[in-house]
Amino acid sequence: SLFRLKDLEVPKLGDSDVHVKMLAAPINPADINMIQGTYAILSPLPAVGGNEGVGEVLEVGSRVSALKPGDWVIPADAGLGTWRTRGVFPEEMLLKVPSDIPVLCAATLSVNPCTALRMLTDFETLAPGKPSAKQEEFWGDLPVFSAMKIWICSHPGDSVIQNAANSGVGQAVIQIARASGVKTINVVRDRPDLPQLVERLVALGADHVVTEEMLRKPEMKDIFKSTPKPRLALNCVGGKSTTEMLRHLQPKGTMVTYGGMAKQPVMVPVSAFIFRDVRLRGFWMTQWRKDHAQDQESVAGMMDALCQLIRRGQLTAPACTEVPLQDYRAALEASMKPFVSSKQILLL
């Protein structure tokens, strides 16, 4: 029992501080890893858990200019400690988000959708297939995707393959790829409720959903009749799942690893390097934020693109189970169970 609920005094509001009433905060795998001491960031103890969430500004210090009472804010970086009802934070630790998006979308915005968008745009230039009129209109407003227009005329469209496709990042990848005309091949573990999961991912916009076992089967050839082999693979599992996924990557394709849920290393056949020249990269959202701390334009552009997708109904919050803060133990336990397709969200 590393965790307990405690009543603390809210600290005095400094000139550059913001008093925030937290509204909702999810439990993510990285939060659990931080508690277990297996993550790259370790907070000095005692610490408040939670790296993600949304709150409402109650009051601001005299030097705070960008925020006012009533604004919604999310953490600008990991380690804020969002599993609390109220907090006083320096202004630079918070990012303003529009309050006209659903609260669960805002609460789950700063980690998974940002990770998905960065991985889809920073490693390979993915070309969309023939766009719909809706996508044409969508690209008109968003510089993030405008470069893709160049490819439209001649290209059948690129595809992405990802494992743990039912994770928060996986669901965001499916939706952002769909909005930008890129096909997705989604790998999930076999499970008792597989048909329901497949149906849910297809409803989000998944082009193909396959189990890890299917990756080895000849039927994969049928998928590649209608969908080009992927140029980008996204891996948050490791072990056998990754090796199998890599077999389907195009020559000179890139595999990006952003997690290791199987707790096993990434094994790559030598032939994949020599004969197909595949690239292996890593991604950590926290590092991206550090690298772009002085580049507010990039951060604002990313948040803007995601909020526009949310407003258009093209990006929804992952499947969520809402839990009052006092039931945090049940929520923590539920978030560590295998085959969970619902994210635990603490209501504060």
CB contact set of 6 (below 8 Å; sequence gap of 6+): none
How far is the C-alpha of 251 from the C-alpha of 247, rounded, in Å?
10
Count other Cβ atoms within 10 Å, centred on residue 44.
Answer: 5
CB-side exposure of 9: number of CA atoms within 13 Å? 3
Letter for the amino acid at 75? P
Say if residue 299 is exposed, middle or buried (CB neighbours under 10 Å; 0-12, 13-18, 19+).
middle
Please spell the DSSP secondary structure of 21-32, one letter per residue: EEEEEE--HHHH
Catalytic position from the list 16, 32, 39, 43: 39
Distance CA 37, CA 35 (A): 5
156 φ/ψ angles, rounded to the nearest 5 degrees: -70, -10
| Rounded distance between C-alpha atoms, residue 96 and residue 108, angstroms | 14
Asked if 39 is an active-site residue, the reply is yes
End-to-end Cα distance, the chain: 21
Bridge partners (DSSP) of residue 72 are: 56, 97
Can you tell me the distance from the alpha carbon of 236 to that of 253, in angstroms, rounded to the nearest whole number? 17
Q: Confirm if 85 and 21 have CB atoms less than 8 A apart.
A: yes
Quick check: 255 and 162 in contact, CB under 8 A? no
Strand ranges for 121-193 from DSSP E: 159-162, 183-188
CB 103 within 8 A of CB 24: yes
Q: Are the CB atoms for 120 and 184 separated by under 8 Å? A: no
CA distance 96 to 73: 4
Length of the chain: 348
- Quote the DSSP letter at residue 191: -
Task: Kindly list the catalytic residues.
Answer: 39
